[in-house]
Amino acid sequence: MTLAYTAVSFPLSTWRSAVFLVAIIGFVLALKGLSSPRHARPGNLLGAAAALVAVGMTFSAGTVNHSARNLGLALGAMALGTAVAVPAARLVKMTAMPQMVAIFNGVGGGAAALISVTELLHIHSTGVSPATYVVVEALLGVLIGCVSFAGSAISFAKLQELMPTRPIVYPAQQPINALVGAGIVALFVTAVVTGSVDYAFGVLGLSLILGTVFTLPIGGADVPVLISLLNAFTGLAVAASGFTLGNPLLIVAGTLVGASGTLLTRLMSKAMGRSLPNILFSAFGAVVTATGTAEGLEGKSVKSSTPEDVAVLLAYARKVAIIPGYGLAVAQAQHVVKELADELASRGVDVFYAIHPVAGRMPGHMNVLLAEANVPYDELKEMDEANPEMPTTDVALVVGANDTVNPAAVDSPGSPIYGMPIIHADQAEHIVFLKRSMRPGFAGIDNALLFDDKTVMLFGDAKDTLQKLVGAVKAV
């Protein structure tokens, strides 16, 4: 602790601190604005303005602008980053939004890790031995940032279908992961004890590997939870950078995101009726869903129907609940489903959307997709709001969803999804399933509802089927 090197602190004059305070208030208000659809957009713009002010002020610092060459490089990198980010963000399809968020999150984690690495190098070059906590902060930044970067990259590849979306398992997965983890701990402790930065590169390399092996066994449908968790990680990595640089703005902004991301991750896993460890590590234990086959389904058959028959059913219904799922997102059928809803509404049918919290690829993803198709948000009913309506609903139209309406979650304690809240499509008078095949949903278990007497099936691509339905309803 002698000759404590407290890192190269960010130059904080009083007025710069004041500007940071303004930016911090802006960020908190931005997050608060997101609590209602009405204030969300102004809130986000306020956050952007706060960021702009903070970044602009940063250029006034002597450390940042003392060298024309460095300043030029900084401006060049920002120009390049903006030139890449704006078109990417504006042009991405709404269905591809989750992977876009994943990649923007990953690069943030990468930046935070690089800051910590550079700072360590800088300390090293001065030849002063740093205080223990400085090394700990920097290494934490490297570790968390790299895990977030690598994990986000793999999530992106999975969602973009550049690699298989199913869980990737290989022999000795758990021991290998444990080994990587133990290696990081060993290098981390060695780096802190010896105060040598060389071990930091070991931590960096192993953290990238950890982020990768940690993400590989997580299946496509669970990736949203993962992105949410990695978002929280990046927040913490940024907070760690803030500690290293002595910058309260980074500490507060990073921590806000770390806290919100953690809460959101917990809400999502709760909605899936599973614990977070189960989501993150279940593929390791190779969940065998032997109990998945509901008893008494053998020999039962499903009733397949035609678009014309279903169109009649829908056109003369009083109340129709549309229950969208992952399949709707995959088929990009959000515009057609809206067309169908409008057609029915013009006939006086009361149409609403019942949205399960984990439907789609991200929490609230279904809301975004339907919003893109101009569905007003007050027609979107969340699960708790939709379920009381189900007993009085004439037709439940299930579009590409399965597990989120599976009654096994309520009535078979042996089922892997037992305990997950569901939308009670089973309480509607009639149930229509739009499905590609009889394949079970992500959880890999049969759905007794498909075999129910009041259920009919419309097989095929959701978009095609919906288009046929729209045509048929118009013809009724």
Partner 1 sequence: MTGIVWYLTIFVLAAFVGYEVISKVPSILHTPLMSGSNAIHGIVLVGALFIMGEATGAAQLVLGFITVFLATLNIVGGFVVTDRMLEMFRAKPERPAAPARPDAPREREDGSS
- Active site residue ranges: 403
Residue 192 interacts with partner 1 (CB under 8 A): yes or no: no
Q: Encode burial over 240-260: b for 16+ CB neighbours within 10 A, e otherwise.
A: bbbbbbbbbbbbbbbebbbeb
Give 122's Cβ-side CA count (13 Å radius). 15
- C-alpha 404/C-alpha 434 separation (Å) is 14
How many angstroms separate the CA atoms of 476 and 471, rounded?
A: 9
Residue 461 interacts with partner 1 (CB under 8 A): yes or no:
no
User: Strand 350-355 to strand 380-382: parallel, antiparallel, or no bridges (unpaired)?
Assistant: parallel
Query: Minimum distance from CB of 55 to partner 1 (Å)?
Result: 6
Q: For the CB of residue 7, give the shortest distance to partner 1 in the complex, in Å.
A: 9
The token pair that represents 56 in the structure block: 């602009």
Nearer residue to partner 1 within complex by CB, 258 or 416: 258
Residue 292: CB minimum distance to partner 1, A: 27
Q: Which is nearer to partner 1, 74 or 186 (CB)?
A: 74
Among 18, 73, 182, 297, binds partner 1 (CB under 8 A): 73
Contacting residue, 13, 17, 35, 174, with partner 1 by CB under 8 A: 35
Closest CB 405 distance from partner 1, rounded Å: 17
**Site residues for partner 1, window 312-341 (CB under 8 A)?**
312-313, 315-318
| Residue-wise DSSP of 242-310 | HHHHT-HHHHHHHHHHHHHHHHHHHHHHHHTTS-HHHHHHTTTTT---GGGS-TT-TT--PPB--HHHH
213 contacts 127 by C-beta, under 8 angstroms? no
Give the Cα separation of 206 and 178 in Å (integer): 12
CB of 65 to partner 1, least distance (A): 7
Near partner 1 in 338-397, by CB under 8 A: 342, 345-348, 355, 357, 362-365, 367-368, 371-372, 374, 376-380, 382, 394
> Looking only at residues 395 through 434 of this chain, which bind partner 1 when binding is defined by CB under 8 A?
429-430
CB of 154 vs partner 1, minimal distance in Å: 17
| Interface segment toward partner 1; rule CB under 8 A; list 156-164, 278-286, 288-296, 305-313 | 305-313
Site residues for partner 1, 92-151, by CB under 8 A, read 92, 94, 97-98, 100-101, 104-105, 107-108, 110-112, 114-115, 117-119, 121-122, 125, 133
Task: Count other C-beta atoms under 10 Å from residue 438's C-beta.
Answer: 12
**CB closer to partner 1 out of 63 and 174:** 63
Are the C-beta atoms of residues 201 and 191 closer than 8 Å to each other? Answer: no
> Is residue 22 a contact residue for partner 1 (CB under 8 A)?
no
Residue among 180 and 237 whose Cβ is closer to partner 1: 237
Q: Is 278 in the site for partner 1 (CB under 8 A)?
A: no
Binding to partner 1 (CB under 8 A): which residues in 222-261?
Answer: 227-228, 231, 234-235, 238-239, 241-243, 245-261
With CB under 8 A as the contact rule, which of the stretches 181-189, 193-201, 306-314, 463-471 interacts with partner 1?
A: 306-314
Question: Among residues 344 and 408, whose Cβ is nearest to partner 1?
Answer: 344
The identity of residue 247, as a single letter, is N
Q: Report whether 194 contacts 161 (CB < 8 A).
A: no
Q: Which is nearer to partner 1, 445 or 456 (CB)?
A: 456
Which H or E run includes 15? helix 14-33
Q: Which of 280, 456, 466, 473 binds partner 1 (CB under 8 A)?
A: 456
How far apart are CB 79 and partner 1 at their closest, in Å?
8
Question: Which residue's CB is nearer to partner 1, number 45 or number 163?
Answer: 45
Q: Name beta bridge partners: 395.
A: 320, 430
Tell me the window of 35-43, 209-217, 320-328, 415-423 that interacts with partner 1 (CB under 8 A). 35-43
Residue ranges of the alpha helices (H) in 326-399?
A: 326-330, 334-346, 365-372, 383-386
Measuring CA to CA, how many Å separate 390 from each of 259, 353, 386, 419, 423?
A: 35, 11, 7, 19, 8
- Of the candidates 148, 287, 325, 169, which has an alpha carbon nearest to the alpha carbon of residue 229? 148
Are residues 273 and 424 in contact, defined by beta-carbon separation less than 8 angstroms?
A: no
CA 376 to chain centre: 23
Residues in the chain: 476
- Closest to partner 1 by CB, 173 vs 430, is 430
Q: Could you say which residues in the range 38-57 bind partner 1, by CB under 8 A?
A: 38, 40-41, 43-45, 47-48, 51, 54-55
Write down the least CB distance from residue 461 to partner 1, Å.
Answer: 21
CB of 358 to partner 1, least distance (A): 9
Nearer to partner 1, 424 or 430 (CB): 430
For residue 432, the cross-strand partners are 397, 456
